[in-house]
Structure 1
Amino acid sequence: MSQSFAEMSARERLAAIVDAGSFHEWLPPSERVTSPHLAQLGVPAAFDDGVAVGRALLAGRAIFVAAQEGEFMGGGVGEVHGAKLVGLLRRALRDRPGAVVLLAESGGVRLHEANAGLIAVSEVMRALLDVRAAGIATVMLIGGANGCFGGMGIVARCADTVVMSDIARHAMSGPEVIESSNGAGEFDSRDRGLVWRTTGGKHRWLTGDCDALVEDDPVAFRAAAIAAIDAHRPMTLAALRLESALLQQRVDADGDNADAVELWTRLGIDDARAVPDLDADAVRALRPAALAALANGGA
């Protein structure tokens, strides 16, 4: 049985995704490029600032790749962390690899570096969109234990392909953030079932937020990343209009539903309550009918 992708470290995921021995890291831990802000606050730093970036081969093709380390500050983005991602993307514009693959695991911007982190995320977004506009495939793999939230949740949706595992999570605001702002009555972050129904890979797949749903398996993620490069979709005005139309369809279909189960029911899924217990294959089979129902404003 393969190892769980969610339980791997950032570098273990990288090693599992790219061709064996092909990863060459830029600014590795030995360079000790760390956050100046954390040091000033007396907070322990990481020698790679929580992200590994570099070049590699994927099925023999040259790619640029980055992986966020969720064990360091939840994969939070600070000034140096963000600068490494921006540098990777800008170098991609110069060297034009076959793709840029980002292995995301982040709770968003570090509170310790709030302003610097917010600026960094905006720069990552701009650089990623520049890479897409240049015709280079951008692939986001989401399967870490911490999910992909906050600024990185937005960055993920800027990529042309999003791959998620069935136990992954992706959203703009994390459950704790929503609860602290609006109370547990709005969103109870301790309700694990609610959190996964609302932000999990299965829900994102059924509502069109991700392009591939895989098992929590590095082999499956690797295969999906290779397929994503082959199915690269250029960023065009027509594509943006289709995305906008999908978002409006979701608003129209959702109405005032309080739970994902209610939306799944409106999308024609007969036993919607069983969805969280289904495996990835079974959930994948539900999507065509669900998207068709979305297009019709809900079943």
Structure 2
Amino acid sequence: MISFAECSARERLARVFDAATFHEWLPPTERVISPHLEQLGVPSAFDDGVAIGRATLEGHTVFVAAQEGEFMGGGVGEVHGAKLVGLLRRALRDRPAAVLLLAESGGVRLHEANAGLIAVSEVMRAVLDVRAAGIPVVMLIGGANGCFGGMGIVARCADRVVMSDMGRLAMSGPEVIEASQGVEEFDSRDRALVWRTTGGKHRWLSGDCDVLVKDDVAAFRAAAIDALDASRPVSMETLEREHALLARRLRLLPDALDSDEAVALWGLLGVADAARVPDLDVDALRSLRTV
């Protein structure tokens, strides 16, 4: 078993997709870098923290992108975002079997705040355009940095979200919540709390994650293959179903606020013996979801 979380972006691309089939667009040799970081005296990366291109998956041509969490936490800036948008727009022209985004990001780079925010909004629009064209957009989330901020929103715009139990997904990261609301509200050093609130198990049980896998490259590959027919174009029916899911959660939340919120919420969602969830492995957990 090879840990997905411990792989770099390019290692994931090499191991999730068919061997030696990844062809990168705008590779580091092209040196397309952020125009802002150098002005701020911040080191740049020649790929701006994301690799994009095409590959094959079980013989099917797919477009892929992998964010590099080791560079600025996978943060989205102007060039980083433009590469993602370009990939998605090219998908509309070339119509691959699917677009797969291997997300690992803390959100928008503070160094490029406005440019990054605009980029994320353009990525969201491009994702929805690709979905509307009937091309599945699949998010694979299992990196050490999680998927937060703008990329967390992008993830929930996709047709399918695949997470490992090591993965994390949320709008605001733990450190951001602690910095703005105080440690009493959220202690980012409490790893158990962080994973109960944002981790793959919680997202699976609450219905935000479609497929839960082990922290294993082979498991992510198998889930990606299964997702090739996951097209779910946005419609009034799908929006109403999503709103019903969120409305149910909002109705349950007040009853969970006076205790351990995640564990209490799992119980209210119908999970038997919810306190055992953090100790269960993925196989044991899969039978517990009721939403």
Which bin holds the TM-score, normalised by the shorter protein?
over 0.9
2:24 paired with 1:32: no
* Counterpart for residue 96 of structure 1: 95
What amino acid is the match of 2:283?
D
* Counterpart for residue 143 of structure 2: 144
* Counterpart for residue 43 of structure 2: 44
Conservation of the 8 A alpha-carbon contact between 2:166 and 2:199 = yes
Taking the TM superposition and a 5 Å limit, the aligned residue runs for 1:237-256 are 237-256=236-255
2:189 and 2:4 map into 1 onto residues whose CA distance is: 24
Q: Once structures 1 and 2 are overlaid, which stretch shifts more, 179-188 or 265-274?
A: 265-274
2:199 and 2:191 map into 1 onto residues whose CA distance is: 10
Displacement after TM superposition at 1:230 (Å): 2.4
SS in structure 2 at match of 1:234: coil
Displacement after TM superposition at 1:283 (Å): 1.0
* Counterpart for residue 175 of structure 1: 174
2:233 and 2:282 map into 1 onto residues whose CA distance is: 27
Taking the TM superposition and a 5 Å limit, the aligned residue runs for 1:2-21 are 2-21=1-20
1:8 and 1:223 map into 2 onto residues whose CA distance is: 17
Unaligned residue ranges in structure 1 (runs of 5+) = 292-299
1:74 and 1:155 map into 2 onto residues whose CA distance is: 16
Unaligned residue ranges in structure 2 (runs of 5+) = none
2:203 and 2:98 map into 1 onto residues whose CA distance is: 23
Aligned with residue 276 of structure 1, among 275, 278, 282: 278
Displacement after TM superposition at 1:277 (Å): 1.2
1:230 and 1:111 map into 2 onto residues whose CA distance is: 37
SS in structure 2 at match of 1:56: strand
Matched length: 288
SS in structure 1 at match of 2:5: coil
Q: Which TM-score applies when normalising by structure 1?
A: 0.95
SS in structure 1 at match of 2:272: coil
Conservation of the 8 A alpha-carbon contact between 2:34 and 2:44 = yes
Taking the TM superposition and a 5 Å limit, the aligned residue runs for 1:10-159 are 10-159=9-158
Q: Which TM-score applies when normalising by structure 2?
A: 0.97
Which string of whole-angstrom CA distances, capped at 9 and with x for unpartnered residues, describes residues 241-268 of structure 1? 1011111111112225242011112223
1:245 and 1:271 map into 2 onto residues whose CA distance is: 25
2:235 paired with 1:236: yes
What amino acid is the match of 1:271?
D
2:52 and 2:209 map into 1 onto residues whose CA distance is: 23
1:229 and 1:255 map into 2 onto residues whose CA distance is: 38
1:287 and 1:90 map into 2 onto residues whose CA distance is: 35
Identity percentage of aligned residues = 76
